A and B are shown apart, each in its own frame.
Chain A
Amino acid sequence: MQTGTAVERVFREEYGRLIASLVRRFGDIDIAEEAASEALVAALEKWPASGVPPNPGGWLTTTAGNRAIDRIRREKLRDTKHRAALMNHDDTPPDPTGPVEDDRLRLLFTCCHPALAPEARIALTLRLLGGLTVPEIARAFLVPETTMGQRITRAKKKISAANVPYRVPEGDDLPERLSGVLTVLFLVFNEGYLASGDGDPVRVELTGEAIRLVRILRGLLPDQPEVAGLLGLLLLTDARRESRVRNGQLVPLPEQDRAGWDRDLIAEGHTLVRECLAINQPGRYQILAAINAVHTDAPSAADVDWAQVVALYDQLTRLDDSPIVALNRAVAIAELDGPEVALALVDRLPLTGYHAWHATRAELLRRLGRRAEARAAYDEALAATQNRAERAHLEAKRAELA
């Protein structure tokens, strides 16, 4: 049983790399996925008796590769001979770390191709690189399993039929595609950091995978400040993860136990933010990282330099004039100019379907002593979120007003 769990853990850790190298080698996502699951079955059969091999990733890659070749030979695909010929020439040894990471990145750029619908890009990334099952992805996005299954199947079919290339684009295409890739990784992280479903409030397999992929991206594109910015943002956010849920309740930033924050991640995040400042090409993620740097710089919640936070949000607004940015800016304004000014800003925003908008209104109304309105706003916020830790927090706050 112990080995069974170990197999699953190794498999989960290795999944993205395994799939990416199989897709590179066989040029077909379906073949890669089936070979990977056959390798898992083989590992579950063998490892409990023989023990986990010294290089489990290499074992899985070799086994899956052999299974894929078997399958291609077995099935009388139209182009069997062509594929088999290719396979005989492919004497690629099990990859060492460097090029393998490149495989994952290539697959990430394939998943984020602008010819695919944005929602399909995220789903496919979660499936192929995060190793999430279709039901898990469906739950995370609150859509029926069949819908998500169709979305993923359709995207995979388009990649294969339309011959979407497996490569990291060069030159002119890179900035446009990079921004799509960064958006997807940011969303994957956010989904993990405040899961939308009613399962685990925080999903470390998602936050971890997002950080891992941004690190790979950063290794390949060291001169892109937005990549550094996103990595800084994710690290500074993830550093607070342990303090963010207490007794099953979400703890807002000002009330968090700062001693529980991960100092190593914070130090690394601050270094990245300083690096971005030196490059001086501000972008969305760099500014968000800088905002998080201000928070993590302050020894206590009372010491946060709110004027600096508001100034950074002003800068962000010039780049991204979205209601979500305006909502976050209003939260900082509340600390600087008081809840009344902030509430006037918040009330103007078209975010009635967004749980954070209701939660922010509720908090501001509570501070203004408008108890009945605050209670109603907490109810609206509760209706709009399924995350258990967030619900527990909102319910506790609402109960204080009863």
Chain B
Amino acid sequence: MTHYLMSVHGPAEMEDYGNYGSKEAMEEAFEATSAYNDQLKADGYWVFAGGLQPASTATVVDGQGEKPVMTDGPYLETKELIGGFWVIDAPDLDVALELAAAASKACRGKVEVRPFDGLA
């Protein structure tokens, strides 16, 4: 089994309803994602998942010097940032890609699949 991060990317600047366009579309996506999560748990692939607050709520901490330095905002200036993610445990990449396709359909976004190097 291999652990994979399935991350969903979205616009750095969120509109009222994220990138969903309307309230209805957003609710539909949330519902579909919730159903997808239940299925993931039932099938035993679920490890952890979560949506993230907008990137504007991020703080970057650099603790490499003597005193930590805090900076408001995300680390990278970019048009797209990670909006949420799943951590799954799947037997191989083919299974992970299948799960990612269903995840992408549920949350209405592109999903990046990336294996973990190790988990603590």
Task: Write the residues of chain A forming the contact surface with B, with a CB cutoff of 8 angstroms.
Answer: 113, 115, 161-165, 169, 173
Contacts and interface: CB of A to CB of B under 8 A. Distances in A.
Contacts of B115: 161-163
A324 B93 CA distance: 35
Interface of B: 2, 4, 91-94, 96-97, 113-115, 117
Q: Is the interface of B mostly helix, strand, loop or mixed?
A: mixed
B92 A115 contact: no
B106 to A, nearest CB: 19
Q: Is the interface of A mostly helix, strand, loop or mixed?
A: loop
Contacts of B94: 164-165, 169, 173
A164 B117 contact: no
* Residue among A162, A164, A165, A173 having the largest count of chain B Cβ atoms under 10 Å: A162
Given A163-B96, A165-B92, 15 more contacts: A113-B93, A115-B93, A115-B97, A162-B2, A162-B4, A162-B96, A162-B113, A162-B114, A162-B115, A163-B91, A163-B92, A163-B93, A164-B92, A165-B93, A173-B94
Nearest to B113: A162
A161 B117 contact: yes
A221 B3 CA distance: 33
A8 to B, nearest CB: 36
B33 to A, nearest CB: 24
11 contacts: A162-B2, A162-B93, A162-B96, A162-B114, A163-B91, A163-B93, A163-B96, A165-B91, A165-B92, A165-B94, A169-B94
Nearest to A166: B92
A155 B91 CA distance: 20
Q: 10 shortest A-B CB distances, which residue pairs?
A: A165-B92, A163-B2, A162-B115, A163-B92, A162-B93, A164-B93, A161-B115, A163-B93, A165-B94, A115-B93
A46 B22 CA distance: 74
Contacts of B97: 115
